[in-house]
C-alpha cells in the first residue's frame, strides 16, 4: 500500500435504511488497500459511530476520508443542532437521544467515547444551531 | 464451535441464505446496545441480541461479527435479511430467551473472552 486515496460520502439525516453505508464502504476501501484488519476495525467502528451521530441528530452531513500509508484521517461534518457541552457529551452514558433511537440500540451515550477509544487523535468543533465537525486520525504503522 | 452446532444447541432456524454451517466461531457476545457491541465484542464472534433492525447487520459488519442469533423468535424483515446475505453474515432465530440462549452456549464451551475459561470444544 503506497498510494494515498481520498473521497467523500454524503449522509442524510434520519435515513436509517442507509445508515452505516458510508462506514461500510470505507471499510471496503481500507480492505482493498490491504490495511491490517485490526486497524480497519478501529477505523470502521469510529466512522460508524460518527456516521450514526449524523443520521440521528443532523439534517445532513458528509464524511471525508484521506488514507495515506501512514494514517487514516476522517472528517465528518454535519448540519445539525450542534453539541452544547462537548465535555458532557464525551462522558460515557451521557446521551440526548430520543427513545426511538434507543430502541434501535443506539443513543446509549457511548458513541463519542467509542470514537475516542478507537482512534489516535480526535477533535470536535461544534456550533450550537449550526453543526458539528468531528475529525479523527488513526495511525497505520503504529502497533495497536 | 461450528454454526451447525450452534443451530443444534439452540434449536434454531437459519433465516439467511448463507449455508456455510462449518464456519468456526470462537467467542460470543450478547447485547441490545450496538455501541456496546462496537466497544466490547471480539472479532469473529457470535452476536446474540433481541434487536432485529438493519443497524444490527451494519454493526455486525463493522465489528467483524461472524454470525447473529436473534432470541425469543424475533425475526428481522426481508430487507434486513437481504442485507445480511449481501454481507455473508448468517442469521439464526431461536425460541429461547437471551438468558437461556447464553446459558446453553456457555454450557457447551462458548465464551466471551479468551481468559474467562479454557475453550475446550
Q: What is the mean pLDDT of residues B32-57?
A: 93
d(CA B34, CA A64): 24
- Tell me which DSSP letter residue A141 carries: S
- Residues A105, B33: C-beta atoms closer than 8 Å: yes
Q: Tens digits of per-residue pLDDT, B61-73?
A: 999 999 999 999 9
Render pLDDT for B74-92 as a digit per residue (tens, 0 to 9): 999 999 999 999 999 999 9
pLDDT computed for residue B121 by the predictor: 44
Average pLDDT over residues B6-16: 96
For every residue of chain A, which 3-state class applies, written as one string? CCCCEEEEEEEECCCCCCCCHHHHHHHHHHHHCCCCHHHHHHHHHHHHHHHHHHHHHCCEEEEEEEECCCEEEEEEEEECCCCCCHHHHCCCCCCCCCHHHHHCCCCCCCHHHHHHHHCCEEEEEEECCCEEEEEEEEECCCCC
Q: Tell me what the mean pLDDT of segment B30-52 comes to.
A: 93
pLDDT at position B66 is 94
Instruction: Using alpha carbons, select from B29, B34, B59, B21 the residue that is nearest to residue B45.
Output: B29
A9, A30, A48, best to mutate vs chain B, most B CBs in 10 Å: A48
pLDDT band, residue A13 (cuts 50/70/90): very high
The reply to whether residue A48 touches residue B39, judged by beta carbons under 8 angstroms, is no
The mean pLDDT value for A55-81 works out to 97
Query: pLDDT digits over A88-117, tens only?
Result: 999 999 999 999 999 899 999 999 999 999
- Residue found under cell 458513541: A111
**Whole-number pLDDT of residue B19:** 67
Among B71, B80, B65, which Cα is nearest to B50's? Answer: B71
The confidence score (pLDDT) of residue B40 equals 87
B 17-36 residues inside an 8 A Cβ radius of A: 32-36
**Nearest residue, CB atoms, A48 vs list B54, B56, B62:** B62
pLDDT given for residue A3 in this prediction = 83
467483524: which residue's cell?
B64
Q: What cell does B72 get?
A: 425469543
Of B32, B51, B55, the CB nearest to A19: B55
Q: Is the Cβ pair A104, B35 closer than 8 Å?
A: no
pLDDT tens digit sequence for A115-137: 999 999 999 999 999 999 999 99
Cα–Cα nearest to A46, from B63, B8, B64, B75:
B63
Does the pLDDT at position B116 exceed 80?
no
pTM of the model as a whole: 0.91
The per-residue pLDDT of chain B, averaged, comes to 91
10 Å CB burial of residue B59 (0-12, 13-18, 19+) is buried
Residue B41 is given by DSSP the state P
Amino acid at each position: 500500500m503506497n498510494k494515498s486515496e481520498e473521497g467523500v460520502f454524503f449522509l442524510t439525516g434520519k435515513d436509517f435504511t442507509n445508515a452505516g453505508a458510508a462506514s461500510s464502504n470505507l471499510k471496503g476501501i481500507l480492505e482493498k488497500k490491504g490495511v491490517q484488519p485490526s486497524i480497519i476495525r478501529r477505523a470502521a467502528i469510529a466512522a460508524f459511530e460518527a456516521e450514526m451521530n449524523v443520521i440521528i441528530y443532523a439534517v445532513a452531513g458528509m464524511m471525508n476520508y484521506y488514507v495515506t500509508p501512514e494514517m487514516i484521517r476522517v472528517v465528518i461534518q454535519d448540519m445539525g443542532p450542534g453539541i452544547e457541552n462537548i465535555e458532557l457529551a464525551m462522558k460515557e452514558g451521557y446521551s440526548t437521544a430520543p427513545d426511538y433511537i434507543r430502541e434501535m440500540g443506539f443513543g446509549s451515550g457511548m458513541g463519542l467515547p467509542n470514537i475516542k477509544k478507537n482512534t489516535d487523535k480526535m477533535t470536535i468543533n461544534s456550533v450550537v444551531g449550526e453543526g458539528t465537525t468531528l475529525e479523527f486520525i488513526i495511525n497505520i504503522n503504529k502497533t495497536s | 464451535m461450528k454454526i451447525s452446532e450452534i443451530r443444534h444447541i439452540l434449536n434454531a432456524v437459519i433465516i439467511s441464505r448463507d449455508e456455510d454451517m462449518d464456519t468456526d466461531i470462537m467467542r460470543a457476545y450478547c447485547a441490545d446496545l450496538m455501541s456496546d457491541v462496537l466497544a466490547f465484542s471480539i472479532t469473529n464472534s457470535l452476536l446474540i441480541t433481541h434487536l432485529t433492525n438493519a443497524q444490527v447487520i451494519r454493526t455486525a459488519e463493522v465489528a467483524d461479527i461472524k454470525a447473529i442469533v436473534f432470541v425469543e423468535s424475533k425475526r428481522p424483515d426481508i430487507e434486513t435479511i437481504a442485507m445480511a446475505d449481501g454481507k455473508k453474515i448468517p442469521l439464526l432465530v431461536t425460541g429461547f430467551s437471551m438468558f437461556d440462549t447464553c446459558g446453553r452456549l456457555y454450557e457447551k464451551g462458548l465464551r466471551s473472552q479468551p481468559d474467562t475459561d479454557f475453550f475446550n470444544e
